[in-house]
Chain A
Amino acid sequence: MTSWLLSIVGVVFLGVMIDVIAPSGKTNSIIKTMFAIMLIYVVLSPIIKLIGSDELSDWIDLGL
């Protein structure tokens, strides 16, 4: 959980730094969108891991 939190903080921090430093232009909006997508991926990564591995199906099997 700590690594998940730290990765979110890292991505947000990087995004904010780039947003502050990068000049405003056409590429700026593209960079921002890419960072938003990356942020969503990082936030959802525990769920993605859970679905990807066998843990979820194991858990359901145990439940039944």
Chain B
Amino acid sequence: MKKIILLLLIIFLAVPQFGIVFADETNSSEVELEEEVEKTLEDIDFRDMENISSDSDLLDIMGSFQEVVDDLISGKYSDNSSSIIGEIVNKVFSQISSLIPVVLMIIAVAILGNLMRSFQTGNNSKEVSDLIHFVCVAVVIVLIVSLFKNVYSITTNCVENISNQITAIFPILLTLMTAMGSTVSVGIYQPVVAILTNVIGFVLTKILYPIFLMSFVFVIVGNLSEKVKLNKFTSFLGSLFKWVVGFTFTLFAGFLAVRGISAGKYDTISLKATRFAMKSYVPLIGGYLSDGLDYVMLSSALIKNAVGVAGLILMFSTVIVPIIYVVVFKLLLQMTAGVLEPIGDSRISKLLEDISKVLVYPIVIILALAFMYLLSVGLIMCTFVGV
């Protein structure tokens, strides 16, 4: 009887305990994960990214890099897209209003030149009209080159900024990946980052940018007079540009995709082996250790994805303004060419149209770099060792 009472007592006392213990277990797993995330976040050095993001125009709306990462992890991130879109629209309109005086000057110069040529009479009218055309084209070129200097500095700054971001964000991402146990993937992505920063950076700044500048110069020189023809040379430079971009892009994307996908599988297998070994060969505490390993891995994966997303937001905000500037400039030049066409002199409108075609190149350069960055960060974010 005593024994039975004792047994019942034990059961009555123990069962609620077990219940509480189980409830605690589910709660404590979240708490433990949060603590792990906070601990890992404190150890990461975001200073490089903060420095870069403080230069960006749009990021002061979104808050600092660290705040964005924290919000993304806790799920509180709201992209306050209405204010960002408002800011972008503001930028577009301020650029249009700063470009419109120049466009009007170009139109005025072309109309005046045409009027002078149609009113002048005399024996050597051919020579004089050529001279007038030459002067008009020279004035138009001076106006456009003064704006082109802006385009050049803005786009080179943007490319440099993205390269800085790449060199700043990948050490963080790769460290977190190592914490996740994807050592083979890290071994794959490290050379990818080296290629991205060195080889691609070299191709962009030392090959593609000179081609862009050269074709700009050739377009202007070739349109100075009808006698000197350099159109074929310009089109040669254009196709050279296209081939170089396509070649680097295909090589990089193919290499990254194939190696990145195969690396993830190795890591999954090796991690499963590690966890099994820990659980079964370490006596008594092996199970707890392998659970703790899960927390570390999950927190690293959370932080890694948040850092990746925040980096992509930063990249977007650096890329969008230069691209808008160049696109607005290009479209305005094309519009001017269209406006000047019915006046009668097709040479100035041809010059403007050719220049607007050349202005696609910096957009392509920036977009190619941004897309390669997006691709590698996206692949790193997708590389998640299966639990």
Contact = CB atoms under 8 A, between A and B. Distances in A.
Interface of A: 1, 5, 8-9, 12-13, 15-16, 19-20, 23-24, 32, 35, 39, 43
Contacts of A16: 134, 224-225, 227-228
Interface stretch (B30-38, B123-131, B309-317, B364-372): B123-131
Interface in B213-253: 213-214, 217-218, 221-222, 224-225, 227-228, 230, 233
Contact of A9 (B127, B131, B221): B221
A1 B210 contact: yes
Given A12-B228, A15-B227, A43-B233, A20 B127 contact: yes
A20 B131 contact: yes
Contacts of A8: 217-218, 221
Contacts of A32: 227
B214 A19 contact: no
Contacts of B221: 8-9, 12-13
A13 B224 contact: yes
4 interchain residue pairs of minimum CB distance: A16-B225, A12-B221, A16-B224, A12-B228
Nearest to A22: B127
Nearest to B220: A9
Contacts of A19: 130, 225, 227
Given A1-B210, A9-B221, A12-B221, A39 B130 contact: no
A32 B95 CA distance: 43
Contacts of A35: 228
A15 B228 contact: yes
Contact of A24 (B126, B218, B225): B126
Nearest to A43: B233
Contact of A39 (B127, B134, B213, B228): B228
Interface in B270-284: none
B204 to A, nearest CB: 16
Query: For this complex, into which size category does the number of interface residues on chain B fall?
Result: 10 to 19
Contacts of B126: 24
Contacts of A9: 217, 221
Contacts of A12: 221-222, 224, 228, 230
Contacts of B214: 1, 5
A13 B227 CA distance: 11
A54 to B, nearest CB: 24
B80 to A, nearest CB: 46
B202 to A, nearest CB: 15
A23 B199 CA distance: 53
Nearest to B130: A20
Interface in B124-172: 126-127, 130-131, 134
Contacts of B210: 1
A13 B137 CA distance: 12
B235 to A, nearest CB: 14
A15 B233 CA distance: 18
Contacts of B131: 20
A32 B225 CA distance: 12
A60 to B, nearest CB: 22
26 contacts: A1-B210, A1-B214, A5-B217, A8-B217, A8-B218, A9-B217, A9-B221, A12-B221, A12-B228, A15-B227, A15-B228, A16-B134, A16-B224, A16-B225, A16-B227, A16-B228, A19-B130, A20-B127, A20-B130, A20-B225, A23-B127, A24-B126, A32-B227, A35-B228, A39-B228, A43-B233
A41 to B, nearest CB: 14
A8 B126 CA distance: 27
Contacts of B222: 12
A8 B213 CA distance: 14
A43 B230 CA distance: 10
B228 to A, nearest CB: 5
Nearest to B128: A20
